[in-house]
Structure formats: structure tokens, C-alpha cells
Amino acid sequence: MPKRWTYLVAYDSPSDSRRAGMLRLVGGFGMDPQLSFHECRLSAGERRELWGELTRCAKPEQDRLLLLRLDPRSQRWRLDGNDRDDSADGSAGVLTYVG
């Protein structure tokens, strides 16, 4: 089994159709998508495949792509929110240590 690393994949485009295409591409690899930010566990081959597909989908003069490998030694925190404000202290989300 190939070694997998955790990557942060982010994109932005003024084109709705290109953004939708990027979402489809990343969606196959991502965990917990947050609109145009995705945490992905990728092997080296999957990383090359995903980056190649994203760069073919994007227009460099208009779109932005980021593929950032996260250091496994670093602490990661995630704020998971919801649309309701029904918590006892009035906060709308939970800050969770994820490793």
C-alpha cells in the first residue's frame, strides 16, 4: 500500500463551471470538503494525477490553485460550525484538535 500524506487543496475561479469541475476532481480524493478547501490523503501518484487534472481544468490567468502538504508533526485544529446558534455559550461551532 502506498504511503499517503495529508494535503490541503484549495482553488478559486471566477467561472462557476470551472469551480464545479475542480470540485468534482477534488471530491474523489477529499475528506470534509469546505467549499473550495479540501483535506485530502494522497499517495504520490494520486497527488500527481489530481494536480495534473486541476491544472488542465484551470485557466492560469484567472484561477488560483494551491496544493500544500501538511507536516504530520504539526498540530492541526479544525473549527466545525453549524448554521444554528443554539449552544449554551452562544458559539456557533466547535474547535477540535485533529492531530
pLDDT at site 71: 83
The 10 Å CB-count burial string (b at 16+, else e) for 70-91 is eeeeeeeeeeeeeeeeeeeeee
User: Exposure of 57 by Cβ count < 10 A (0-12 exposed, 13-18 middle, 19+ buried)?
Assistant: buried
pLDDT at site 47: 93
pLDDT at site 81: 59
Pull the grid cell for residue 36: 473550495
Q: Which of 21, 8, 31, 7 is nearest to 63 (CA)?
A: 21
Distance CA 69, CA 90 (A): 34
Can you say how many angstroms the Cα of residue 42 is from the centroid of all Cα atoms in its chain? 12
Instruction: List, run by run, the mean pLDDT of 10-residue segments along the chain (99 residues).
Output: 83 87 80 70 92 91 90 72 49 51
CATH code of the region 5-73: 3.30.70.240
Sign of CA dihedral 26, 37, 4, 96: negative
